[in-house]
Structure 1
Amino acid sequence: MPSTIDTQTMTLPKPRILVVDDSRTMRKAMRRLLCQDFDVVEAEDGEEAWKLITEDQSIQVVFSDLMMPNMNGFQLLRNIRESIHSRINQLPVIIITGHEDDEKMRRQSLSLGATDFITKPFDS
């Protein structure tokens, strides 16, 4: 006898995104903005983010600051784009920065393969 599935109660897992910023305040603000629709994972620098990206195959999008200790956003972006794994090198990477010279940063980020560039502060 065939069973019926109640699609009303089934929920798909939320897409997992990684927010990378050395500012805890910014990470928490991003989490508040995105947690309704996404499973948000946080990293405080590029080094921690790279470790998460290589270990967690469910990460689907990366939001990253540029100016961080240990590994900055430019190096993280290079690592992602130069990865031999298509799951990693095809990840959408959105750069978020509040740097005063944001036009130069935007051009450099996009030339390294960023998917998009957002200047903070931004409206929620």
Structure 2
Amino acid sequence: MVNFVCFLLWNLALLFAVRVGCWLIGCTRPDITLNGTRIFVGLMAIALVFDTAVTFLVFADAGGPWQAHNPSETYPERAFAYVLAALIAVLIAWHARRQDSRTTRNGAAATQEIETSAYSKSTLPM
């Protein structure tokens, strides 16, 4: 269980790093739009495939000191940590998208205006 928690925390730290990286790229280059969730889910899929290949193709037949470590014991924990981290990323993105649409639908974001002239009562939408 300790291994699972460590793997999950490491994957969530990677999620944070990917989201911050995509945000920084978006701030510096507004013409580039990156979806951090899709990038992270892709990274988790690649990591799961690579981990499966290394576990069952390389270390399964390894001799010497590797025989003391049974790779099939810790693999399900790592695989579940990959899948759970990807699911958490998708749920966070879904929740954020839902909050944005709810804010726009209620009109809070669309009705912000600046009064440009007190005399003519003109406004400028933001």
TM-score (norm 2): 0.23
Larger Rg: 2
**Greater share of residues in helix:** 2
TM-score (norm 1): 0.23
**Greater share of residues in strand:** 1
Q: Which structure carries more relative contact order (alpha carbon 8 Å, separation 6+)? A: 2
